[in-house]
Structure 1
Amino acid sequence: MFKFLCFCTAGFLLLSSAVLRGQASDGYTPISLNDLSAFDAPPQGWKLTPEIMMNPTNGTVMSTDKKGGGILVGTTGQTIKTKAAMQDLRLRFDFMLSPGAQAAVVLPGNQRIVLADGPLTAAPGASTSGYTGQFPIMNATKAPGLWQTIEIAYDASTTQPNMARVNSITLNGSRVQQGSYLPLSKTLTGKESIAFTVNKGTVAFRNIGYQELANRKPLTIENLTYKLYSDQWDTENPTKLDREGPAAALTQEIAAGMKEFQLVFAGNMVVSEAGLYTFEVAESGPNTVLTVDGKVVMKLSGTTSQDKHTAQTQLSEGKHDFSLFYARFPWRAPALGVSVYKSGVRPYDLTALSSLPVPPPKPYIGVDPENGTEMLRSFIQYQDEKAKRTHALSVGNPAGWHYTMDLNRGALLQAWRGPFADVTEMWYERGEPQLLETAGLTVLVSGKSSYAPLNDLSAAWPDSANLKYLGYRLNANGVPTLRYAFGNATLADQFTADAQGLTRKISIEGSGPSGMYALLGAGDAITMVEKGLYRIDDRYYVRVDKNARVTQRSSAGKQELLLPLGGTTTYSLFW
């Protein structure tokens, strides 16, 4: 049973509808849930509904009386199988669990991937979502009643006899399995269906899509030429042409022996299958630019990690002019790798294998609050903002619930559950980015100031409030309380954590501005699950006192949840 800080059983129910992804945008072939015709002899225990309701506190599950489909709902009983059959595949779908529910998706070769409630289980085990016969790397399961997304890359046929390979499983944005070989429980003679089975409780599915994977190469390169310049690495328009000519392969090794160079390739991409192509680039250098038909597909600046970067472009059948620009840092070894794939096609290299040498191993540097609260100052790259948040404080708690505050704005940026912080980009070598990466299941919050005065409830919530950061104080357990000045008033903001989630306490002393509010959540949809319990999109829950004067409103195309401040105000978050 999932436990919360404040347990309640009566009240309203959460309503979620089918939100459908389009096939064209991501290359997945959808399994239609408009009716059950996509399934082979569907058992009676499975049904379709346009909406589903689950109360995470008492386990009540209800579907709407409205007719239609979009959501597949299963209860304990028989297995449902798709008519579509395949071997090697990518599979993606959303699922929602009732409290205590457990299900599995069965892949070709009878490999089972567990889907199970249990977000409060610290150590992953055999009943943790993502279990395949091998424990997942981490527990990335969300709370019951929230839609979750799983992406699976799987090879039923491998070069290893009687073995299947789970290339990756990504759950709610966190990688939980990577490159694991599993023994086939039965001989695979051809393509097989995908199956879903529910072992306990109720489980809902939506947006089921798949890609069959093949080894063909629908995009090739011809008429390749190069120009090699000896200008300094940061020259914007190189002019010192060292040499040029036809190129046998895409490789930075053309400049072998040069410590500093800029290299430009040009040629044709020959496309035999129209579609959306994804390019992956891994490199070390100051600038890399990929252009197709005069359009910049990808532009990278100042990367040294050889991490993969992706970009997509739609290509028609036929020839397409392309260019690839690459420059080398004189103090680092050159590295350039480009690969491509599309729906139904495995990634394959366009560059020579030797153009992207194996980098020296980079250690993982992590911080975990095993013996007490940990606090880290860092930069934070928040969503798609161009500038980093430079005054961020991340706080880790031994209970496994953590958060980041923008101290300048008094803004809660993100919160997460599980391992605390990946500080490799801060502490390894020069640590130039100074970026802290969350190491657990992360939810993004609004990024706006958490408290502000409003003249009336129709006033827009400001990105930043007129506040002054005064510093923080630590209690006996090392838990910080942030302090801000609002006029003549002092505001104190403290998060505490236990096994069930984060609790936030905001206190105001003195005579400050009138009409002070706290922003508890903002999103596309805020739903009252029961009195005092709200769901913010499918990201997290907010719990307040049942008698609190909460305001739910629409503003600037979003929904917001506000709570008036005065004296001491408390609310909780969990996911």
Structure 2
Amino acid sequence: MNHSPSLSVRGLVCGCLLLCTAPAWAQTALPLTDLSPFKPASKTWRIAGDVQADLAAANVLKTAGGTGVLVNLPTDKEHGQDLFTNLVHGDADVEFEYLMAKGSNSGLYLQGRYEIQLHDSWGKQRPYSGDNGGIYERWDDSKPEGQKGYEGHAPRQNVSKAPGLWQKMRISFQAPRFDASGKKIENARILSIQLNGVTIHENVELSGPTRGAMENNEVPQGPIRIQGDHGAVAFRNIKLMPFGKQQPSLKDLQYSVYQGQFEAPADVAKAKAAASGKLLQLSAAITTLANDFLIAYTGKLEVKEQGDYNFRLGVPGGKGYLKVGGKEVMPFSERGGTGSISLAPGEYPVEILYAKTANWAKPNIQLSVSGTGLRETLLSDPAAALGNLVDPILVEAPQNTMLRSFVDLPSGGRVTHAISIGSAEGLHYTYDLDNGTIVQAWRGSFLDATPMWHERGDGSSKPTGMVQYFGKTMPALAVLADANAAWKADSVGTGFRPKGYSVDKEDRPTFMYQIYGAQVQDAPRVSANGQELQRSITIDNAPANLYLRVAEGKDIREQSKGLYVVGDKELFIRIDDAGGATPLVRNGAGGTTELLLPVSKKAVYAILF
């Protein structure tokens, strides 16, 4: 957020397009080898090869030599200034990774005018428009106190990571529209914002610039502006995909309806049409038949700009086919599919087939087109929803909540005896009762139980927030012949026996099991501020050479005493009680790195992300 007077940068936009050497509509990735992609700025901005936050000190980032990371380090002596890109944009997707210092505050302004807040909002339970990912409020000094700020938009949920970890944001932005006289005829719009893989905004209209904009006017194109006068922050992998190419359109549409089942496009020529006519737009709402029919559409595709065009055809409960300019773009296949073709400006004959054979779906058809410089856009009836939409069955966790289900992991495999534990603090986790281990943790909302409870279901649920996975599920404890012995992939031969779990007065579970003859109590606990998941493991009758597998990643490094950073700054592990043992970082299977801890009686560590 920016409460200081707006910086006057009139004329900044003029001539900026001349500095964009990338081809029209090509994605632009700012190289970050030096500061040349930006207008001259204060000395607080610099290029580095790496950056590290201090979790114990506010507004502190340490840098390492190299390139690829843009860093702002304002101080009390040098307040810092905002940074403006040389390139300008209209409609665009903007994506970037960023890393916040503890307690830091920054922002990214689309067209220099509409701020998306970047903030250390780690663990905050009820975010508002000034928190991480929020669309900052507009401001009017003429309004009464308490009403000067308006039209701010908080993120749907707080899926922010801890300071010192890389976060990823993707913004889809639609610029305001103007008529030939320069009068605004349509407001700017945030089509969507994804933060750490979770959609936190959709279809938000912006009536005007947010507070602290470079100017209060609105324009077709403007620069990206990064706030530089508040807190320490780092950026990398900044990419911009401009949109604005004129979309193709369907015209002169005609249809013919055929009864029966069809296995190939050639079968249509042998059949007699039961009905035919003209259409204003591509739609399946032209027949009363519910099943066993084929609709053949013909018409022209008008292309206004040369390019590679990607088509997506959806035909629930049947087969689809697409031919453009005499070339097969999609073969006759179940539920349609996708296909691409390179087209020059002009008109092309188009042929679309929709053969419906399955009675589980309602008749429907959707065709969309996308390409470099062109957002995916419907060419069919926009009022027709594809398929049978289902209201999601969402499970919230206003207090400590447990739900048993199957859980599918992206690393492969299904956890068949999983229990997911939700907390009011917005930090949740899933425990594998077959291996005595935590398989995933996440921030934000709790669970989507639609796959489990809708109709017959498949028994699974999935997180609805920002998920941190912990690799393939395997036992948390193992006896190793030596420190280099391979970790056991399953519990066979370990004598593993689950003993259920008990709950405390706050409904927090402690899991119990036997392994290698030892009695284990495993008590994960979410901290009161929602920032960390602390795991306390107590062992009775522990065998010799028993190890706890604390973490796995591509790389694990000790950042400070007892604090380890996993992967490419994906999460932190803090060893709180090693029971007198020394943690071990070693090479794991498949090129991974493992953090192990010898255990005899007790071990306590925290997961921070």
| TM-score of Structure 1 vs Structure 2, range by shorter chain | 0.7 to 0.9
Amino acid at match of 1:369: A
Unaligned runs of 5+ in 1: 1-22, 302-308
Match of 2:591 among 546, 550, 557: 557
- How far apart are 1:529 and its partner, in Å? 1.4
Partner residue, 2:243:
213
Partner residue, 1:4:
none
- The question of 1:368 aligning with 2:396 is answered yes
- The question of 1:202 aligning with 2:200 is answered no
- How far apart are 1:124 and its partner, in Å? 0.9
- How far apart are 1:143 and its partner, in Å? 0.6
Partner residue, 1:8:
none
Deviates more, 1:165-174 or 1:532-541: 532-541
Cα separation, 1, equivalents of 2:249 and 2:551: 46
Partner residue, 2:510:
481
- How far apart are 1:571 and its partner, in Å? 1.0
Amino acid at match of 1:539: E
Aligned pair in 2 of structure 1 residues 489, 227: CA closer, same or farther (>3 Å)? Answer: farther
Asked if 2 retains the 8 angstrom alpha-carbon contact of 1:278 and 1:310, the reply is no
Cα separation, 2, equivalents of 1:471 and 1:137: 35
Deviations 1:107-133 (A, max 9, x none): 126111110002121101132112212
- The question of 1:72 aligning with 2:70 is answered yes
Cα separation, 1, equivalents of 2:265 and 2:515: 51
- The question of 1:139 aligning with 2:158 is answered yes
SS at match of 1:69: strand
- How far apart are 1:315 and its partner, in Å? 5.2
Unaligned runs of 5+ in 2: 1-21, 75-79, 136-151, 179-183, 210-215
- The question of 1:285 aligning with 2:317 is answered yes
SS at match of 2:451: helix
Deviates more, 1:169-178 or 1:403-412: 403-412
Deviations 1:53-75 (A, max 9, x none): 222222442212x3x42111113
Cα separation, 2, equivalents of 1:114 and 1:123: 15
SS at match of 2:375: coil
Deviations 1:331-369 (A, max 9, x none): 432333232312321212244446x34777744433233
Deviations 1:413-461 (A, max 9, x none): 2101232222233334x15243322122221111321233333332333
- How far apart are 1:398 and its partner, in Å? 2.5
Amino acid at match of 1:58: A
Match of 1:86 among 79, 85, 89: 89
Cα separation, 1, equivalents of 2:607 and 2:331: 40
SS at match of 2:472: coil
Partner residue, 2:40:
41
Aligned pair in 2 of structure 1 residues 361, 269: CA closer, same or farther (>3 Å)? Answer: closer
- The question of 1:62 aligning with 2:62 is answered yes
Amino acid at match of 1:94: E
Amino acid at match of 1:409: N
Partner residue, 1:383:
410
Partner residue, 2:77:
none
- How far apart are 1:44 and its partner, in Å? 2.5
Deviates more, 1:41-50 or 1:450-459: 450-459
Larger Rg: 2
Match of 2:176 among 154, 157, 163: 157
- How far apart are 1:103 and its partner, in Å? 0.6
* TM, length-normalised to structure 1: 0.80
Amino acid at match of 1:61: L
Asked if 1 retains the 8 angstrom alpha-carbon contact of 2:285 and 2:364, the reply is no
Deviations 1:184-211 (A, max 9, x none): 2333344211111124221111111111
Equivalent positions of 1:318-467 (< 5 A) are: 327=356, 329-353=358-382, 356-357=384-385, 362-371=390-399, 373-383=400-410, 385=412, 388-428=414-454, 430=455, 432-449=457-474, 450-466=476-492, 467=496
- How far apart are 1:294 and its partner, in Å? 8.6
Equivalent positions of 1:303-322 (< 5 A) are: 316=342
Aligned pair in 2 of structure 1 residues 109, 102: CA closer, same or farther (>3 Å)? Answer: closer
- The question of 1:184 aligning with 2:215 is answered no
- How far apart are 1:259 and its partner, in Å? 3.1
Cα separation, 1, equivalents of 2:503 and 2:98: 41
- How far apart are 1:492 and its partner, in Å? 2.6
Aligned pair in 2 of structure 1 residues 101, 278: CA closer, same or farther (>3 Å)? Answer: farther
Asked if 2 retains the 8 angstrom alpha-carbon contact of 1:230 and 1:242, the reply is no
Cα separation, 1, equivalents of 2:541 and 2:264: 56
- The question of 1:527 aligning with 2:557 is answered yes
Cα separation, 2, equivalents of 1:99 and 1:491: 36
Amino acid at match of 1:93: F
Asked if 2 retains the 8 angstrom alpha-carbon contact of 1:39 and 1:81, the reply is yes
Cα separation, 2, equivalents of 1:86 and 1:105: 14
Cα separation, 1, equivalents of 2:549 and 2:445: 27
Aligned pair in 2 of structure 1 residues 492, 533: CA closer, same or farther (>3 Å)? Answer: same
Asked if 2 retains the 8 angstrom alpha-carbon contact of 1:416 and 1:441, the reply is yes
- How far apart are 1:526 and its partner, in Å? 1.7
Cα separation, 2, equivalents of 1:310 and 1:207: 31
Amino acid at match of 2:602: T
Cα separation, 2, equivalents of 1:298 and 1:242: 17
Aligned pair in 2 of structure 1 residues 412, 335: CA closer, same or farther (>3 Å)? Answer: farther
Deviations 1:33-88 (A, max 9, x none): 11222112233321111222222222442212x3x421111134211111111111
Deviations 1:1-57 (A, max 9, x none): xxxxxxxxxxxxxxxxxxxxxx99x96321221122211223332111122222222
Asked if 2 retains the 8 angstrom alpha-carbon contact of 1:340 and 1:348, the reply is yes
Partner residue, 1:256:
287
The percent identity for this pair of structures is 25
Partner residue, 1:51:
50
Aligned pair in 2 of structure 1 residues 56, 288: CA closer, same or farther (>3 Å)? Answer: farther
Amino acid at match of 1:559: T
Amino acid at match of 2:509: P
Aligned pair in 2 of structure 1 residues 409, 334: CA closer, same or farther (>3 Å)? Answer: farther
- How far apart are 1:169 and its partner, in Å? 0.9
Partner residue, 1:16:
none
- How far apart are 1:178 and its partner, in Å? 1.1
Partner residue, 1:119:
122
Structure 1 vs Structure 2 CA RMSD? 4.1
Cα separation, 2, equivalents of 1:129 and 1:287: 44
Partner residue, 1:167:
191
* TM, length-normalised to structure 2: 0.76
Asked if 2 retains the 8 angstrom alpha-carbon contact of 1:229 and 1:242, the reply is no
SS at match of 1:118: coil
Cα separation, 2, equivalents of 1:511 and 1:141: 39
Deviates more, 1:167-176 or 1:197-206: 197-206
Amino acid at match of 1:375: M
Asked if 2 retains the 8 angstrom alpha-carbon contact of 1:340 and 1:347, the reply is yes
Asked if 1 retains the 8 angstrom alpha-carbon contact of 2:329 and 2:340, the reply is no
Aligned pair in 2 of structure 1 residues 476, 188: CA closer, same or farther (>3 Å)? Answer: closer
Asked if 2 retains the 8 angstrom alpha-carbon contact of 1:167 and 1:180, the reply is yes
Cα separation, 2, equivalents of 1:391 and 1:322: 50
SS at match of 2:374: coil
Deviations 1:362-412 (A, max 9, x none): 4443323324x2111122221163x54332211112332210123223342
- How far apart are 1:323 and its partner, in Å? 8.4
Count of residue pairs the alignment pairs up: 534
- How far apart are 1:225 and its partner, in Å? 9.9
Amino acid at match of 1:347: E
